[in-house]
Amino acid sequence: MHPSSCDTFVALPPSTEGQCIIFGKNSDRPCDEVQEVVYFPAKDYDADEKVECTYVEIEQIAHTYAVVLSKPAWLWGAEMGANEHQVCIGNEAVWGRDNANSEEALLGMDLVRLGLERADTAEKAVDVITDLLEKYGQGGSCMEDDCGFTYHNSFLISDRKEAWLLETSGKYWAAEKVEGGYRNISNQYGITTKIDKEHPEMREYAQSKGWWDGNTEFSFATVYSFLTTARIESAGSRYCEGKKLLEKSDGCMTAEAMMDILRDKESGINMEGMFMTTGSMVSVVPANPALPGVHYFTATPDPERSVFKPFIFVENAHLLKETSSPSFGPDDPVKIKPRFQSKPDRKHPLFVKHELAAAIIESYKDKGQKITERMRQLEKESINEMEKILTQGIEEPDNLVNLFSSSVQKEMSIYGKS
């Protein structure tokens, strides 16, 4: 079994405390892969410009929105992220009856980034992603070192007022709107009979393949997925555990409660081993459009041993470029065709220091405990500061320009003391 897994969560009123939507995702990837957090400002483009994604070039649009992304350092797309309109997207690998395309096309992670750059609501992101699927298809290796590792994608997408679950199989897809409560996805199809949007030929295709008789009630998950594979079973248990954890916080879900879910090792949600949680994200998005959303990222593996650091979209946030280390900075990482070039060292300064600290936590109980306590204290202080902003709004936007990078510096100074 080639394990690839992720877990994505969303909680909406009345499940959350206050009138807000809380989004969370663990990105589980090969344990030696570096995940970085990058910010790209909004941008205008000339007609006929192209954008080079991980493997393929596609048409650019006239205007892209500002985005903050958590992404494997080697590719163009992202595992998860948010945009200036408070749309959040995370994707998951899913396997169905149709084989995933191994030919180079758009990766699910490219679609996450494109959805964020091009859509100002969750529903529009569904349209953007499905239009791109129709035009360019999905496919290509999702790992730098494994040419044959491909999958279909499911997406959890939220904005200020609702969430959408989008599940795909090749170019076919179904989408379900979530207007309240909570929802989580693991590496399996989860849309059953409530389908709010769909590919016009999706049912016809299933019928032509003999997966559906055309008469019984149509359930996307039943029709399109393998019913028994080890992959689905392990995802299934994580999905059930994740649902239970969401249920526990139902009515009182907060950023911290979502972080606790992402840190849960017993459920397998916080994954360890050759595949592990290499980056995590939690977003708090108030329903009130006058209030900012706060997006927390770790940029380091294992959320249990990481600090969730806040980012807020403010004017001039692109000044991040000049003030933070290159890994959190401005330019698209060099696009590398993994199969043809040797693997460069992509470890950013935070990653390097975090690795050393993780080794100390592992080996020296007392010393490790002190580091962990300081990390949690830093996180708690920043959550408390963000709570004020989430309820009262922003007084001095300029003070938040370096919010993320200054949190990174504080975290690194904790590791420096170790």
Q: Catalytic residue positions?
A: 6
Contact (CB, 8 A) for 83 and 51: no
What 3-state DSSP class applies to 281?
strand
309-311 and 43-44 strand pairing: unpaired
